[in-house]
Amino acid sequence: MQDMKKQEMLALAGDQAVAFAVKQSDVDVVAAYPITPQTIIVEKFSEYVANGEVQTEFVCVESEHSAMAASLSASATGARTFTATASAGLALMHEMLFVASGCRAPVVMAIANRALSAPLNIHGDHSDSMAQRDSGWIQMYAENAQEAYDSIIQAFRIAENLDVLLPVMVGLDGFTLSHTLENVEVLLDSVVKQFVGTRKFPNVLTHEGKNAPFKLDPANPMTMGPIALQNYYFEFKRQQEEAMRNALKVIKKANSEYAEISGRSYGNGLVEGYRLEDAEVAAICLGSTAGTIKTVVDELRKEGVKAGLLRIRVFRPLPFEEVRSALQNVKAVAVMDKCTSFGGNGGPVFHEIRHALYDRTDRPYIVNYIYGLGGRDTSPTELRSIYEYLQRVLQTQSVEKNIQYLGLRD
């Protein structure tokens, strides 16, 4: 509690907050390639390197594909590793994301969420990270710059946990968060350093019959990233699924332990409910939109509408149990997707929330809103219209149209 008081308030844009968190997290290797709206992260970090403020090897690679290859290789060698990207850069990494998670390399990566081409668009939506949904990475989405800072610090602890050993991506909405100055409370360097600790390695049995830390070390040779065929590949994948399940617990714990040093927590770490206890109508969203929705919910509450919000902080692993229990009393739900699944009848968050609620006998009405693609602004008035629609659903006891587009020129 002593150290908590010693936090400093800085004016930081989301990207700067991320770079600051990385600077404090005793990172060994950063391998990254610049792309809008992530550039500030690598620029800021380059400054730290140039001014000798960090003990980090910065590898200014020639592409995002190499950024991920170098990151996972550095991680396999025993280094704490960070990288950052967005949009096309994340798409270019696609192949290597699966290799990183398959090699159980606990790389941490910030994603300044941005739309995918074509047409070319540099603004925020979730198409980039949603397309990496099944890459075996833990996915966290921040609501504001403060949370981006806090989540990066937590991410190292989560990724490197021996029950997890999975890479983690932390999404922050492009421009809305990446480039917007906010008040961010930062911890003391020493407090962060203690929280992230030093990287630990599980002991594994090597082919030479030794019990040795899982990393590339000439003292204990091991073969990493081998070919595993029909007889073994399946077991590797099953272990990754197991690690994802373990991550649920570890993320919750990181959230509560972080609260002890910072005074800040985000729901239970996995989901954050806002005025949900007695809510009849609720929206579900990821990222920065939650901030605006909270204001709308407050207004509606004043008007006597039993409105609430569920923010999904962790999309992978999706906390199905928490989603189900958080929505226990809700009668109509609007799931918001800043991404679409062409031909998939709704966006990815909608699919999964609907899936989570299927086993409930008293399932609520559920509507999907596709919104904000290519960074289109979403106003409080538009968000309000969602709740109005949900109320109409309850009045008429029917859903006319379950996939809707918000703020679209029809």
Task: Check residue 55 for interaction with other proteins (CB under 8 A).
Answer: yes
Find the part of the chain contacting other proteins (CB under 8 A) among 8-16, 91-99, 118-126, 268-276. 91-99
The reply to whether 399 sits near other proteins by the rule CB under 8 A is: no
Stretch that binds other proteins, among 188-196, 226-234, 297-305, 371-379 (CB under 8 A): 226-234
Residue 112 structure tokens: 């300044």
CA pair distance 181, 178, nearest whole angstrom = 8
Structure letter (DSSP) for residue 134: T
Question: Is residue 134 near other proteins by the rule CB under 8 A?
Answer: no
Q: Please give the C-alpha separations between residue 87 and each of 14, 103, 126, 278, 389, in angstroms, as whole numbers.
A: 17, 24, 9, 38, 32
Cα(6)–Cα(51) distance, rounded to whole angstroms? 25
Least distance to other proteins, CB of residue 218, Å: 4
Strand bridging mode 307-312 / 271-274:
antiparallel
Using the contact rule CB under 8 A, the part of the chain among 66-74, 108-116, 245-253, 352-360 near other proteins is 66-74
> Does residue 324 bind other proteins (CB under 8 A)?
no
Site for other proteins in 329-368 (CB under 8 A): none
Q: How many CB atoms lie within 10 A of CB 297?
A: 26
The stretch among 55-63, 167-175, 349-357, 358-366 that binds other proteins (CB under 8 A) is: 55-63
Applying CB under 8 A, does 380 fall inside the site for other proteins?
A: no
> d(Cα 309, Cα 279) in Å, to the nearest integer?
9
Report DSSP state, residue 179. Answer: T
Q: Are 81 and 56 in contact (CB under 8 A)?
A: no
Give the whole-angstrom CA distance, residue 331 versus residue 400. Answer: 16
Q: Least CB distance from residue 63 to other proteins, whole Å?
A: 6
Does 216 engage in binding with other proteins (CB under 8 A)? yes
Can residue 271 be called a binding residue for other proteins (CB under 8 A)? Answer: no
Helix, coil or strand: residue 256: helix
* Residues 18-47 within binding reach of other proteins (CB under 8 A): 28-29, 31
Residue 59 as a binder of other proteins (CB under 8 A): the answer is: yes
CA neighbours closer than 13 Å in the CB half-sphere of residue 48: 24
Pairing outcome for strands 365-371 and 403-406: parallel
Least spacing, CB of residue 206 vs other proteins, in Å: 9
Among 58-66, 174-182, 341-349, 391-399, the segment contacting other proteins (CB under 8 A): 58-66
Nearer to other proteins, 38 or 73 (CB): 73
Element at 370 (helix H, strand E)? strand 365-371
The least distance separating other proteins from the CB of residue 140, rounded to whole angstroms, comes to 24
Contact criterion met (CB below 8 Å) for 301 and 275: yes
Q: Is the dihedral of CA 247, 248, 250, 251 positive or negative?
A: positive
* Residue (32 or 334) nearer to other proteins, CB: 32
- Tell me how far, at minimum, the Cβ of 29 lies from other proteins, in Å: 5
**Contact residues for other proteins (CB under 8 A)?**
28-29, 31, 55-57, 59-63, 65-66, 69-79, 81, 95-96, 99, 103, 207, 216-229, 232
